[in-house]
A and B are shown apart, each in its own frame.
Chain A
Amino acid sequence: NAGVTQTPKFQVLKTGQSMTLQCAQDMNHEYMSWYRQDPGMGLRLIHYSVGAGITDQGEVPNGYNVSRSTTEDFPLRLLSAAPSQTSVYFCASTRDRGFSGAFFGQGTRLTVV
């Protein structure tokens, strides 16, 4: 099983550029979420989705957009990259909104210069 697959693994952007971080899961999970991980900050929720067509904001949503057109995919869009968005981004999926714990992808390390 692939689980949760994130692409790319590494990315360097210039300030002002836009890009999409891809996330796909093959476990038929309804609930998917995006986190960012910064040194000493733990993981912070950016956006989440409780099913296809339904998304909502997490703790740190500014500068990011999401959509959920299928159960499998949950892309994260950076609209106009800023150095403050330099971070490691993790996508996660759960069967039941987190009761049984989230499965995480391997992460995307993003640097904005």
Chain B
Amino acid sequence: GQQLNQSPQSMFIQEGEDVSMNCTSSSIFNTWLWYKQDPGEGPVLLIALYKAGELTSNGRLTAQFGITRKDSFLNISASIPSDVGIYFCAGRKGGSQGNLIFGKGTKLSVKP
């Protein structure tokens, strides 16, 4: 099946640090979405992007829709402990089906 390559797979954060993660694909997508999943919960939508080059913020989170339409980036500024969790990117192609394709996730943990 189609795949999105999400990196890094995991990272440790210290409170106050900025965090970056990205998602790439060999295919073009019309929509990019970023989700966060807490343990035992379903994913929750953070940011949706609809146009190449679009830069959208949601509080301390900023995401960008890559110019080539094959990638997207998520940045978290000044991280706090409740930012820990798994972050997923998802892409949607156009067309009548347009199902979401998910990356494998980036796990954020707190530095010991």
Interface set of A (CB-CB < 8 Å, partner B): 4, 33, 35, 40-45, 48, 56, 58-59, 90, 92, 97-107
Given A40-B104, A43-B102, the answer on whether A101 and B42 have CB atoms closer than 8 Å is no
How many angstroms from the CA of A3 to the CA of B90 in the assembled complex?
A: 21
How many angstroms from the CA of A95 to the CA of B54 in the assembled complex?
A: 22
Is B31 close to A, CB under 8 A? yes
Q: What is the distance, in angstroms, from B102's C-beta to the closest C-beta of chain A?
A: 4
B104's partner among A42, A106, A107 (CB-CB below 8 A) is A42
A42: B residues at CB distance < 8 A: 4, 6, 88, 102-105
Q: Are A104 and B43 in touch, CB under 8 angstroms?
A: yes
A-B contact pairs, 10 of them (CB 8 A): A33-B100, A41-B104, A42-B103, A45-B101, A56-B97, A90-B43, A92-B42, A100-B48, A102-B100, A104-B44
Q: Count of chain B residues with Cβ under 8 Å from any Cβ of A?
A: 26
Q: Are A44 and B88 in touch, CB under 8 angstroms?
A: no
Given A104-B42, A105-B42, the answer on whether A98 and B102 have CB atoms closer than 8 Å is no
B1's partner among A40, A59, A107 (CB-CB below 8 A) is A59
Interface set of B (CB-CB < 8 Å, partner A): 1, 4, 6, 31, 33, 35, 40-45, 48, 50, 88, 90, 92, 97-105
A104: B residues at CB distance < 8 A: 42-44
A41: B residues at CB distance < 8 A: 104
Q: What is the distance, in angstroms, from A104's C-beta to the closest C-beta of chain B?
A: 3
Residue of A at shortest CB range from B92? A98
A44: B residues at CB distance < 8 A: 1, 102
Q: What is the distance, in angstroms, from B61's C-beta to the closest C-beta of chain A?
A: 14
